[in-house]
Structure 1
Amino acid sequence: MITDAQASATSTSTPPRSSALTWAVIALCTAAITVEGFDLIVYGVALPAMLDDGSLGLDKSFAGTLGSLAYAGMLIGAVVCGPLADRLGRRRLLLASGAVFTVFTVACSLAAESWQFGLFRLLAGIGMGGVMPSCVALGKEYAPRGRSALVATVVLAGIPVGGVLAALTATAWGEPLGWRGLFGIGGALSALVFAAAYFLLPDSRPAPAPAPAPTGEAGREVSPDREATGIRTVLSHAYARRTILFTVANFAVLLAWYGLNTWLTQLMREMDYPLGSALRFTLVLNLGAVVGSFALAALADRIGPRLVTAGSAVLAALAVLGLSQGGSTAVILGATALAGVGAQSALTMLNDWVASTYPASARATALGCVSGFGRGGAILAPLLGGWILDAALGPATVFYVFAGSALVCGVALLAIPARRD
């Protein structure tokens, strides 16, 4: 077992840099995000079966409402657990959050009524929201020098990898398992990963940054390395504009990304693709996200995050706009892959940019606030898709909304001021 003492003697700001420890942390954080991705995205691949099954009495609009509850829970979990991770330790919060979403994902598979399923998804979402800030903060602290964006990409690639696993599971065994079996598999995989993390994952809790020194001049900015820790740093004069713009960008890209993951299979069915083919689009979306995001992360490590992250959001907007136009299967599959590349890359590098912008003592707080309040976009995405389809406005309108949201993300990122040294 890798003990807390091996990671840092009660919490220093610079963890040991041994290669074995570094890659153990990165692998465990990636595995935790992967099972979170499976449990989150499995709803989208299971949704057609849930609508056809009828046991929960769902229509498209109500299905969108249920889909948004996990993201509402993630908002709560990220905002609450991000600051707690900075104070109590990332390992402790990650394990507690993982246990919560594992238990309630299993509970989803047993729900007898729609209100029970919705409650369990909300509670599972709270756990999911608590996992991400701790994983990104741990990965950031243990990342090899000069490989920050790449490590963030590896860790957050777990979301689309989980989506790929969910789509493959539904394609191969969805019919005999049913939607309940898909949620059960997600819970079982999560239990295995967090059991391993309990025995192997080290902790890291940065020492508090020094309190700000008095300023002799009115209006003078306090240097970032002397800011108070936690939420006061995130909302301080030196960081407030960045925090707001990061949150707007995160809201917009999450609306596009999770909107696609919730509705893409059903949208393809609405466009007269058979279910097996429709599931293939979700698979390609997440495969594109995994493969393409690594190339763009390497570029971001070379030239910086601003243009690459904003450009990724614009790429997603153009690709989703292409999806709205339909066409041959090959063309649509290509556009789907590019949408995955752009949306996931923008989301991944945005989180790495946030982690690089704030001092280590407030890093998980910043990630929790930006990703937490940004989760409003993920909450809205399933609802918007359901409302638009229920109003018979057609799948193209849903794609227009998601494309516009990705474009808003790109504009917000370009408006973020250059970081002061």
Structure 2
Amino acid sequence: MTSSRARAHSFRTVLPVLALCWLAVFFDGMDVNIYGAVMPHMLDDPGLGLTPSSAGTIGSWTTFGMLIGALLAGNLTDWLGRRPMLVASVVLFSLGSAVCALAASPGAFGGGRFLAGLGLGGLMPLCLAMVLEFAPPRRAALTTGILMTSYHAGGMAATALGLTVAPSVGWRWVFWAGVAPALIAVPLLFKLLPESPGVLLARGERERARGVAARYGLPEPALVEAPAGGAKGRLAAVRALFAPGTRWATPLLWLASFCGLLLVYGVSTWLPQLMRASGYGLTSSVSFLLVINAGGIVGMLIAGRTADRFGAVRVSAVWFVLTAAGALLLREHLPLGVTYAVVALTGVWLFSAQVMVYAATDSVYGGGERAAGLGWVTGVGRTGAVLGPWLGGALAANGNESWGFTAFALAGLLGAAAISLVPLAGRAGRRRAPAPAQSGIGNPV
């Protein structure tokens, strides 16, 4: 790579990719948070027949769909490309939102949420992989943090819809708003989003890969940086995650992601209802979701800049511990103003703790394994996303809502322990690895 190309590779050159992925993830965050924002209204709707227990189960259907969607997207990307898969993901969760708006029973509504989950699960790892590939040197954590501010901006938009549209015209119209991504984002993604140079190279389209790299100031793609194609390539990529330099770090990243996504989706689904059960009014309870997402936006920017200086692993571990402390404080019925402050600060730490787990994969895996590593970290972590909403529903159904905050605190402490051990695991693996290491596998943590 020449010095002129190095100077060209900056936020300015990759801004179009970041902006388009930001828009896609904005709608992802809106769709995920819509359910929590309108759940109190849905529970009060006798025509739907939703109960706290079935509400938690439906929340888990959504995240189970995400688990399947994340794993399918990683495999189909080899054949179809990242841009078509991103478009398909947006179409799927928009269609799922339409099914929810029309649902006449909890079962039909759950089917719509499962369909939406398929699209949501594929979208996030694809956008993260795109942004990490196009990110300027030594700015992976900051770029990831900027991308993920969109998730919380979408969550705030969902909460605003829950506070304004649901009380006036009904919760179904909030889900009709979830159809907007298919009308807004899909044409823009088709027209403006480039394909991944690494994916193009893996498919044998060398000239196209070079053209995209040159257009965005990226280094010329090399085969070692390209994700492996085909079934054999996918199997080889998974085996590489357990190579001597990464075999112990990989399960720790999975565990940290599990804990982080349990927190993210458990809180996004159940915070309004948990706060309502703690004695706060309906409007205040829903507005807490707005506040925690506002804190999430601030947290992403703080975490991204801090992680680029001190490392994503350290920041993620500290953020997990602070999240646990915030969750324990929310068990107490504090004055309303103090509660808003605690919720906002908890949002600063909670969401970016998980995102810094994603950012940590950039230093654990080499270029050829990065997409597979990130896909499996997000995919396995989705089991936590499945458990979080179900756990909240089970506790609410038994009148033990306050224990939900304790469960979230324990998840935060376990996540901190897991991510803290990743550097030690990486060093232990490299000490046992035969020399020389091959294909860039097992980059230092």
2:347 corresponds to 1:375: no
**C-alpha distance in 2 between matches for 1:357 and 1:106:** 40
Matching residue of 2:437: none
**1:42 corresponds to:** 34
Partner residue, 2:415: 409
* 1:18 Cα deviation from its structure 2 partner: 7.0
User: Which residue does 1:239 correspond to in 2?
Assistant: 246
Output the TM-score relative to the length of structure 2.
0.84
State the distance in 1 between where 2:362 and 2:393 align.
34
User: Which of these residues, 403, 406, 415, is aligned with residue 400 of structure 1?
Assistant: 406
Match of 2:171 among 176, 179, 188: 179
Q: Which of 58, 61, 83 in structure 1 is aligned with 2:50?
A: 58
Within 5 Å, give how 1:331-346 maps onto structure 2.
331-346=338-353
Distance 2:392 2:184 in 1: 33
The alpha-carbon deviation at position 253 of structure 1 amounts to: 1.2
Distance in 2, matches of 1:29 and 1:361, equals 22
Deviation at 1:29, TM superposition (A): 0.4
**In the TM superposition, what is the alpha-carbon distance from 1:159 to its structure 2 partner?**
1.7
Q: Structure 1 residues 303, 20: CA separation in 2 closer, same or farther (over 3 Å shift)?
A: closer
| Paired position in structure 1 for 2:360 | 353
Q: Residue 76 of structure 2 aligns to a residue in which SS?
A: helix
Contact 1:255 1:378 in 2 (8 A): yes
CA distance in structure 1 between the aligned counterparts of 2:237 and 2:278, rounded to whole angstroms: 48
Which amino acid in structure 2 is aligned with residue 400 of structure 1?
T
> What displacement does 1:20 show?
5.4
Distance (Å, rounded) in 1 between the aligned partners of 2:252 and 2:77: 23
Cα offsets for 1:227-276 (capped at 9, x unmatched): 99522222333322222111111111111121111111111111121111
Distance 1:200 1:234, change over 3 A: same
1:277 alignment partner, one of 271, 274, 284: 284
One-letter amino acid of the structure 2 residue matched with residue 128 of structure 1 = L
For 1:199, give the aligned amino acid: K
Deviations 1:270-324 (A, max 9, x none): 1121111111111110000111221121011011112111001111110011001
SS in 1 for 2:112: helix
8 Å contact kept, 1:83–1:368:
no
- Partner SS state of residue 53, structure 1: coil
Is residue 253 of structure 1 aligned with residue 260 of structure 2? yes
TM-fit CA distance, 1:364: 2.2
Per-residue deviation, 1:205:
4.2
2:304 aligns to what? 297
Give the structure, 1 or 2, with the largest relative contact order (CA under 8 Å, sep 6 or more). Answer: 1
Distance 1:109 1:236 in 2: 47
CA contact (8 A) 2:165 2:171 kept: no
Give secondary structure in 2 for the equivalent of 1:236.
coil
Instruction: Name the SS of the counterpart of 2:171 in structure 1.
Output: helix
Deviations 1:375-414 (A, max 9, x none): 1111111111111111122x22111001111111001001
Cα distance in 1 between the residues matched to 2:10 and 2:137? 12
Cα distance in structure 1, aligned partners of 2:95 and 2:262: 26
Q: Which of 391, 408, 413 is residue 398 of structure 2 equivalent to?
A: 391
Q: How does 1:188-267 map to 2 (within 5 A)?
A: 188-206=180-198, 207=201, 209-210=223-224, 230-267=237-274
CA deviation string 1:321-378 (max 9, x = no partner): 1001121112111111121111111111111111342222332222221111111111
Decide which of 317, 322, 337 is 1:315's aligned counterpart. 322
- The percent of aligned pairs where both chains have the same amino acid is 37
What secondary structure, in the 3-state scheme, does the structure 2 residue paired with 1:240 have?
coil
**Unmatched runs of 5 consecutive residues or more in structure 1:** 1-13, 212-226
Alpha-carbon separation, structure 2, partners of 1:124 and 1:372: 16
Aligned to 1:140: 132
Distance 1:88 1:232, change over 3 A: farther
The partner residue of 2:24 within 6, 19, 32 is 32
Query: Given that residues 255 and 415 in structure 2 are in contact (C-alpha distance below 8 angstroms), is that contact kept between their aligned partners in structure 1?
Result: yes
Q: Which runs of 5+ in 2 are unaligned?
A: 1-5, 203-222, 226-233, 427-442
